[in-house]
A and B are shown apart, each in its own frame.
Chain A
């Protein structure tokens, strides 16, 4: 839970710092507006003088019009009325007034007129620039803890979040397994998503309580509410400390079956957190930040640095590095001549790699080179057929040969595995199992592809259901294939971090789970409270249900009993 001032990320270029001002500041605000208008006017006049010889008459006219607008008394009055009558800040008043004007233009049937709307935006921007000036806040210059509120958050935006200052997230869009939620869990901060209209309802600077457990956001709480939440937060912290004491204990069921708990990480430093929380290593190292954080493709050295950094932090413990898994975001789309109509089903992930061998080989070289420093496994995502798998392995072999020729050391026997994330892969798991060293099931995507639902689309996010009978059946099937071929199998999707599913997953046959580090203690606690026998009975029961609703109700009841330490009995 976080109780902080809010920072609102608008989709427009300029972040309006504040929308409503106190009555006492109205006069000063009107003055600010006057000042900014004068500055903007001066700026344009200076521009005109400076460019007098270079501009042709058309451009001269454009700026002359801008100047007229900035000096227009009617406009000035409209804006200052909004300040005086509505308590708007100067910036907000400007944006409201100009939006209205622009709307008139955009609505006009005449093309020439509708094109003039861009002039209006230009003038607005200039005015805002003079109003906001140095007050422009952005997430790179935070000085105190805040909660970030936005329509949605992209991986690129969240990649540069400073953990020290960003204490909570609230977004309009998204679902339980959207990127925002994943980042929040990984950073260990509360988040509430799919609020639909939170970004419009909050004024930057408003105090906001984000309660991730209850899924609520409270804007400008009164003192009593704050105190209630603070004491609730204190209780949670106490609970977390209790869980921390489990760190050194093994995740073993009451009848002696050990479950390996690993961490999912995106950045090298998180490897440390995985161990600290009691994980036995890293089950999924998502390498995408290397591509998202920079403007250019990362070099082999960039990769190598990151991997050795992670290894340093994980020591002798195992770490599974997943190769490039991007698609439908700026990195791959930037390189496209035509945008993909359906990037989700398009050239992404391993497919993109197989068509961009230099990018693929660069990453593999770095992984292989790093493999001498620790216990590394490499994993290919989104494999959907045997040929793709074989191609990827051939390329890995080619890279190995190159390194041999160059006398560079690497682990010759580096284990190679794949993520099972599609119905296709799940259904041919038997033949895939014969050609890999391990499977890892990516339930986030597996569920999306199986149920054909976008987990981030808040209109249908409720259809995304890990307990859909089809999903459970596929999971069971893949586990059987892995056991038959005697290869390791783990589950690394968000399902692994939900206490409600732990007994089911173990009952289906999973003996390794990889999840967000902050949740490891919680899952361990559950494992230590149940028997393997009990888990098998849970799985059998769930496999007999027809709907996810039945499964959810059943699991919820059982989990409640588990957490309350009650006696567990299933007919």
Chain B
């Protein structure tokens, strides 16, 4: 097995607070999941002790992340840092529905 290049093994993570008033559900969750799926990296979202697949709406919803919950997003893979940046953005900015 050849050793993976630094680029392919890229890791990144961030800790973010959920800014969506109604928590990470519905539109924000879909937004998050769609965004996560646009990257190659494997995405994991952790709340307290529970870690789930960030690309799965089922997993994300089960996380039941309410407003103000601290989540750790972790990505590993080719475009890990880009993924983290985009996803952190989504959580921090709050939701469009809060504006609506």
Contact = CB atoms under 8 A, between A and B. Distances in A.
Interface string B44-64: 000000000101111101101
Given A105-B64, A108-B64, A65 B58 contact: no
A74 interface: yes
A296 interface: no
B57 A113 contact: no
Contact of A113 (B30, B55, B66): B66
A72 B30 contact: no
A72 B58 contact: yes
A116 B23 CA distance: 12
B58 A113 contact: no
B25 interface: yes
Given A101-B62, A112-B23, A113-B64, A74 B55 contact: yes
Contact of B22 (A62, A69, A108, A112): A112
Given A68-B30, A110-B23, A57 B66 contact: no
Contacts of B59: 74
B18 interface: no
A61 B59 CA distance: 18
Interface string B15-56: 000000011011101100100000000000000000001011
Contacts of A72: 56-58
A141 interface: no
B98 interface: no
A75 interface: yes
Contacts of B26: 61-62, 64-65
Interface residues of B, number: 20
Given A57-B100, A108-B64, A113-B66, A74 B58 contact: yes
A104 B55 contact: no
A64 B25 CA distance: 12
A78 B100 CA distance: 36
Interface in B63-100: 64, 66, 97, 100
Nearest to A108: B64
Chain A interface helix/strand/loop/mixed:
helix
A310 B100 CA distance: 69
Which of B23, B53, B57, B58 has most A Cβ within 10 Å? B58
B27 A73 contact: no
Interface string A436-471: 000000000000000000000000000000000000
Given A104-B62, A108-B64, A73 B55 contact: yes
A57 to B, nearest CB: 7
A438 B59 CA distance: 70
A531 to B, nearest CB: 75
Contacts of B22: 112
Nearest to B69: A110
Contacts of B97: 57
Contacts of B29: 65, 68
A105 B63 CA distance: 9
A65 B56 contact: no
Given A64-B30, A65-B26, A68-B30, A116 B55 contact: no
A64 to B, nearest CB: 6
A72 B37 CA distance: 11
A73 B66 contact: no
Nearest to B59: A74
Which of A62, A69, A75, A113 has most B Cβ within 10 Å? A113
Contacts of A69: 57-58
Contact of A74 (B27, B30, B53, B100): B53
B58 A101 contact: yes
Interface in A62-111: 62, 64-65, 68-69, 72-75, 78, 101, 104-105, 108, 110
Given A57-B100, A110-B66, A116 B58 contact: no
A113 to B, nearest CB: 5
Nearest to A57: B100
Nearest to B57: A68
Interface in A35-80: 57, 61-62, 64-65, 68-69, 72-75, 78
A61 B30 CA distance: 9
Contacts of B57: 65, 68-69, 72
A101 B30 CA distance: 17
A65 to B, nearest CB: 6
A110 B100 CA distance: 23
Contacts of A116: 25, 61
A68 B33 CA distance: 9
A280 B20 CA distance: 78
B69 to A, nearest CB: 10
A101 B53 CA distance: 14
Contacts of A57: 97, 100
Nearest to A100: B62
Contacts of B66: 110, 112-113
A65 B30 contact: yes
The 7 tightest CB contacts between A and B, nearest first, are: A74-B56, A68-B57, A75-B58, A113-B64, A108-B64, A104-B62, A72-B58
Interface of B: 22-23, 25-27, 29-30, 33, 53, 55-59, 61-62, 64, 66, 97, 100
Interface of A: 57, 61-62, 64-65, 68-69, 72-75, 78, 101, 104-105, 108, 110, 112-113, 116
7 contacts: A64-B27, A69-B57, A104-B64, A105-B61, A110-B23, A113-B23, A113-B64
Given A68-B57, A112-B22, 15 more contacts: A62-B26, A64-B27, A64-B30, A68-B30, A68-B33, A72-B56, A72-B57, A72-B58, A73-B55, A108-B64, A110-B66, A112-B23, A112-B66, A113-B64, A116-B25
